Structure 1
Amino acid sequence: MDFFLLSSLADAAIQQALLAMLVSIAAFGLGQMVSRKLGPALVRWWKAHGPGKGELPVRPICTVLRLSVALLILMVATAIGFEELSAQIILAVATGVAVGLLVHRFARSAGTGRVIATLLGLVAFVAAIAGVLRGFAPLLEGLNAAGFSVGSRRVTLLGVLNGLLVVALLFIGTRLAIRLIGRSIDQAGGLDRYQRVLIQKLVAAAFVVVAILMGIDLLGIDLTALAVFSGAFGLAVGFGLQKTFGNMLSGLILLMDRSIKPGDVIVVGDSFGWVNKIGVRAVSVITRDGKEHLIPNELLMTERVENWSFSSRDVRIRIALTLPYATDLDLAEQLMIQAATESPRVLAVPGPNVWLRSFGERGFDYDILVWIRDPEQGVGNVQSDILRRLWRLLQENAISIPLPQREVHLHARSEGGNAPRR
Structure 2
Amino acid sequence: MDISIQKSKLHNRQEIQITGSKSESNRLLLLQALFPQISINNISNSDDSVLMQKALESKEQLIDIHHAGTAMRFLTAYFSTQQGRDTIITGSTRMKERPIKILVDALETLGADITYLENDGFPPLQIKGKTLTAFKVALEANVSSQYISALLLIASKLQNGLELTLIGKITSVPYINMTLSLLNNIGITTSFEGNTIIVKPNVTEVKAQTVTVESDWSSASYFYSIIALSDIGTEITISSYKEKSLQGDSVLSDIYEKFGVYTSFEAESMTLKKTANCDLNLSIDLDLKNAPDIAQTVAVTAFGLGVECTMVGLHTLKIKETDRLVALKTELEKLGAEVLITNQSLYVKASTKINTDVKIATYNDHRMAMAFAPLGLKVPLVIENADVVSKSYPQFWEDFKAIGFNLK
What's the TM-score once normalised by structure 2's chain length? Answer: 0.18
- Give the structure, 1 or 2, with the largest relative contact order (CA under 8 Å, sep 6 or more): 2
Larger radius of gyration: 1
Higher share of residues assigned strand: 2
What's the TM-score once normalised by structure 1's chain length? Answer: 0.18
